[in-house]
Amino acid sequence: MLTHKGEFYGAISTNQHTNFALQGAYAFTDKLAAAGTFSSLHRRKGNNTEDIDFAELSLGHFTRLPDKRVLEVYLGAGGGHTSRIERNDEQLTTRTLDGSLRKYFAQVNYARKKQKTLHLLGHDFPLTYGAALRLSYMELNNFRINGQLAPGESNVFFEPITFTRTKLVGPVQLQLISGQILGFKRNEYLKAANSVFQVGLVINLWEGAEGF
C-alpha cells in the first residue's frame, strides 16, 4: 500500500509449494501509482504437473485517509503461458496441454494500520491489515492439446483476499495472504483455483517520516 509521492516497495512471496511471486510499486505523485507483478507457479497433482508463468502491470489512484487508512484503485492487464502434462500410473505421458493467457482486471485495496501491536516474546510487532477485491476477465488462447490446436476459453473471476503484515525489523515485514478465487463460468480448462495462501517478506526500500 502506497501513501505518498516517491514511495517504492518490492516484495518476494512464496508458499509451501515451488511457487514464488515478485511485486513492485512506485508512487509517481501523491495520488498516482504503478504496480507490477511476476509469478511462477509449479505444482503437482497426483501424476500431473502444471506450470504457469504470468506477469501483470497496472496503474492506479491511492488516497490516504484519516486514522492511518489507505484506499487504492487499480486497472491493469497481464499475460503469460500455461502448460500441463498428464501421466498414467506408470509415469508415461498421456496428454499435454499448453496455451497463452491474457487478463484484464480492476482491483480495490484497503488497508489500515492497527493502533495496538502484537506482543510476543517480549517484543512489540506493529500490525497492518486489509483486503483486496479483484474482478478479472481472462482468456486462454493458442490452446493446444497434444500439439493440436483446440478451441480457447474465457472466464470471469472474482478474487476476495485478506492480508496481514507485521513489522519484523527495520523495513522488513512478514506478510500473510489468504482468500478465494471464484469463476463465473463452468469451463473444462480455464477455471478457478480452490484457494490462495501465501507467506512472504515485504521490504520497504524507502519510507517517509510517518510511514504506514
Q: Give the separation between CA 38 and CA 10, rounded to whole angstroms.
A: 12
Global confidence as pTM:
0.82
Q: Give me the pLDDT at residue 209, please.
A: 36
Predicted local distance difference test score (pLDDT) of residue 129 = 85
According to the model, what pLDDT value does residue 208 have?
Answer: 43
Only one residue has cell 483486503, namely 131
Distance CA 83, CA 100 (A): 9
The reported pLDDT for the residue numbered 54 is 95
Q: From the CB of residue 184, how many other CB atoms can be counted at a distance below 10 Å?
A: 12
Q: Regarding beta strands 123-145 and 93-120, do their DSSP bridges make them parallel or antiparallel, or are they unpaired?
A: antiparallel
Task: Give the chain's residues under pLDDT 70.
Answer: 1, 15-18, 113-125, 203-212
Q: pLDDT at position 197, please? A: 76
CA neighbor of 197 nearest in space, from 174, 179, 210, 175: 179
**Separation between Cα atoms, residue 6 and residue 206, nearest integer Å:** 8
Query: Contact at 8 Å (CB) between 114 and 124?
Result: no
